[in-house]
Structure 1
Amino acid sequence: MDNRFITTLENNIVYCALLDNRDQLIEIHPEQISQHSIIGNIYIGKVSNVVKGINATFVNIGLDKDVFLQIEEGQYFIYTNDKSSTDSPKIGDELLIQITKDFYMSKAATATSMISLTGRYSVLTYKKSFIGISSKVKKIQERYRLKNIYNNVLNDEYGFIIRTNAVDISEDDLLKECDMLIATFNRIREVGKFRKSYQCVYKEPQNYIRLIRDLYKNNVDVYVFDDEGLYNCAKDYFNDDFYNNISDRFELRTDTNNLYTLLGFNAKIEKALQDKVWLNSGANLFIQPTEALIVIDVNTSKSVGKKNFEDTVYAINIEAAKEIARQMRLRNLSGIIIIDFIDMQVEAHNKQLLDTLEAIFLEDRIKTTLVDMTPLGLVEVTRKKADKNIYDKFKDLRKN
């Protein structure tokens, strides 16, 4: 596949990028070295307010603003005293919460009491005592094998969601990671009993470490760094056997200009922020995010077609579908996405277009669902929100 994962340091910003074999960006993730995200961190918080009308509480974790904790039926809590895990929080209660969404402008960060710990092959989920498995694991025999392995470690306190990375990994390696996640979970619970409020008892690794951990194992051939400190941190984190010797594919390059300059990241980023995307055929896409949804329009523009107009349009739409899937991942577009392809009269062409989109969406590590094509010919897609989109990320960086 020849994909490369690049970690480069430029002006105190760590840029993580996944590049294909033509050095096109597949994903780009910037993060200021001094401002790490708190998503995934676990804190001992103290309930400061309970708002019964919206079934929510606000929890003080020692930062400038309290965080928002939604209360739902059947929810469990980990209190620092002997209070039952099924009792709803009251003002003054101390409990463990995990951040699910960062503070953004005037909005509070959000949190959950249903703690989860993410590994490379699975996610430990508190009080969800079942085994889930990624829908991207298609082979029935492999799904059966994986479920049997994880059923051996299932109990009333936690379950596991099996990730796509687990496919073809040995039982020993999968169970080693399970043991590590269970030990970490038990340690967090124990530490929570004697630590004071407002302390962070578990911190997610830096963004570039999380990305290396989360990318599918077959998507990357080499991981290249241009900063020795970042390289050494990654080597230390991934030095365990159950990471399948991933660190053997780490490379450190400090003998040239930094990779940000060498690979032309500045131009690639500016291009990724533009509304218009040109295709090789001369057609183009127009990508317009709005408050409610994202609209992507396909235009023939300068495209020079064949004699048969239907065949020309079909070829443009197939080319556009592949580029749209790349742009959705690159820009980290999420929510409702409406795609206006060029109208086609042949029903088989419409079906092939949808099949092409569905197949490409399987390559995206974020859940992307092709809903349908409407009677007006608009293709409806949803993509799970997992982080800020590219526009917000670079807007925040340029403020600072």
Structure 2
Amino acid sequence: MRKLYVSSWNERTVVAAVENGKVMALTICHDGEETVGSMYKGIVKAKKTNIDAYFIDIGREKDVFLHAMDCLESNLQIGEEVVVQTMKESSRHKSGQATMKLSLVGEYIIYSPFTNYVAASKKLSTFERKQWIEFGTDAKRGQEGFIFRTAVSKASRDEVEKELYDLRDQMHQIVEKSKQIEAPALLHRGKDCIEQTVNRYNSTGFSFITTDREDVYAHLTDHMQLEVIFETVPPIDLHKEIQRALKKVVWLQDGSYLLIEENESLTVIDVNSGHSSLDPVTINLNAAHEAIRQLRLRNLSGMIVIDFLRMDEDERTWIQKAVEDAVTRDVHTVTIFGFTRMGLFELTRKRIGRSLKEVMR
């Protein structure tokens, strides 16, 4: 059984992905934090020709970074007013990132007024992809663009058409508002952290959401298609799970352990036999699944290197297959590069939000 559990911990909201009673992923949300996906009317404050980018004042503490490839026009001028949407939140060391290629995310469609293309999730069947791309091509107006999400496989044509019209109308209202309001100003607030997290899991086999918070129950019941259940007895000990996920050492049941070193540009996971009596391949197989679980629990992203126990060349194939199986349920995009000549296993994981360690600072 797979479910999402939403609760409070230390004045924060936590969304836990639970599979068969085991916590597989954690997302920690702060009330009032900047919302990725929000749209602003901003002012070009600086132009950095050496990196082909701009910094835009959107009325927040930090200006946002806008790369030239995310602009709708070339050669923006200092003082020029632009409409942007946040793509990545800011961190202690980096500005948030924005784009002028606006989009609205629905349950079935990602709608954009300017991208001029139609695509569909690769998780759909070939027939479904062809069917929905044809639908989108016929429905498209001007420079509009659509991406049909995996959840569209369970939707009727009428449901998808209604969402398309609603998103189109909502975007029209945002664009009209931008013509009347003075910069810098918020035009549209994106989905909050809870909604974004639930949306990412919506089409990945999670059957329902449980929560012990009445406000969350009321909010999600109004905004989500998944069944929402209110329960007063927590199914997991959040404090214990979070404290475990902050430790560098993770012990496995067989007595082996992982040593996790998280750095800004690289995460290294070292597999150690500890006091396990199992053979190296079995230890590595167990470690592969746990390492991927730890990436999800800690929300680690970027380049990741796993140093498994030494194996023969043919045994490495089994480990790579175990990693590939383990990442299939990750809602983040994971790219596997496999073993290097030095025997290190390399992969990358797309960044969505901050890591657990960064959030807890």
Instruction: Confirm or deny a common fold (TM above 0.5).
Output: yes
Give the match for residue 41 of structure 1. 38
CA shift for structure 1 position 281: 1.8
Give the match for residue 162 of structure 2. 176
Tell me, yes or no, if the aligned pair for 2:12 and 2:29 is still in contact at 8 Å. Answer: yes
Report Cα offsets for 1:148-177 as digits up to 9, x if no partner: 232232343221223233334332323322
- Residues in 1 aligned to 2:205 and 2:220: alpha-carbon distance in whole angstroms: 18
Q: 1:333 to 1:107 in 2, by over 3 A?
A: closer
Matched, 1:30 2:28: yes
Matched, 1:317 2:314: no
Tell me, yes or no, if the aligned pair for 2:68 and 2:74 is still in contact at 8 Å. Answer: no
AA paired with 1:107? K
Matched, 1:291 2:279: no
- Residues in 1 aligned to 2:141 and 2:109: alpha-carbon distance in whole angstroms: 15
Corresponding pairs, count: 361
Tell me, yes or no, if the aligned pair for 1:361 and 1:369 is still in contact at 8 Å. Answer: no
- Percentage identity across aligned positions? 27
CA shift for structure 1 position 293: 1.2
TM-score, normalised relative to structure 1? 0.84
Report Cα offsets for 1:369-391 as digits up to 9, x if no partner: 11121122211101111111111
Give the match for residue 374 of structure 1. 340
Give the match for residue 62 of structure 2. 65
CA shift for structure 1 position 393: 0.9
Give the superposed CA RMSD: 2.1
Matched, 1:303 2:281: no
More moved, 375-384 vs 352-361: 352-361
Tell me, yes or no, if the aligned pair for 2:13 and 2:28 is still in contact at 8 Å. Answer: yes
CA shift for structure 1 position 346: 5.5
- Residues in 2 aligned to 1:216 and 1:357: alpha-carbon distance in whole angstroms: 23
Runs of at least 5 residues in structure 1 that lack an aligned partner in the other structure: 77-85, 306-311, 396-400
- Residues in 1 aligned to 2:264 and 2:30: alpha-carbon distance in whole angstroms: 26
Q: 1:42 to 1:140 in 2, by over 3 A?
A: same
More moved, 181-190 vs 128-137: 128-137
Q: 1:54 to 1:304 in 2, by over 3 A?
A: closer
Matched, 1:130 2:117: yes
AA paired with 1:350? R
Tell me, yes or no, if the aligned pair for 2:37 and 2:191 is still in contact at 8 Å. Answer: no
Tell me, yes or no, if the aligned pair for 2:66 and 2:99 is still in contact at 8 Å. Answer: yes
Matched, 1:279 2:257: no
Give the match for residue 205 of structure 2. 219
Give the match for residue 364 of structure 1. 330
Give the match for residue 81 of structure 1. none
Give the match for residue 16 of structure 2. 17
CA shift for structure 1 position 201: 1.1
TM-score, normalised relative to structure 2? 0.93
Matched, 1:343 2:339: no
CA shift for structure 1 position 143: 2.4
Give the match for residue 55 of structure 1. 52
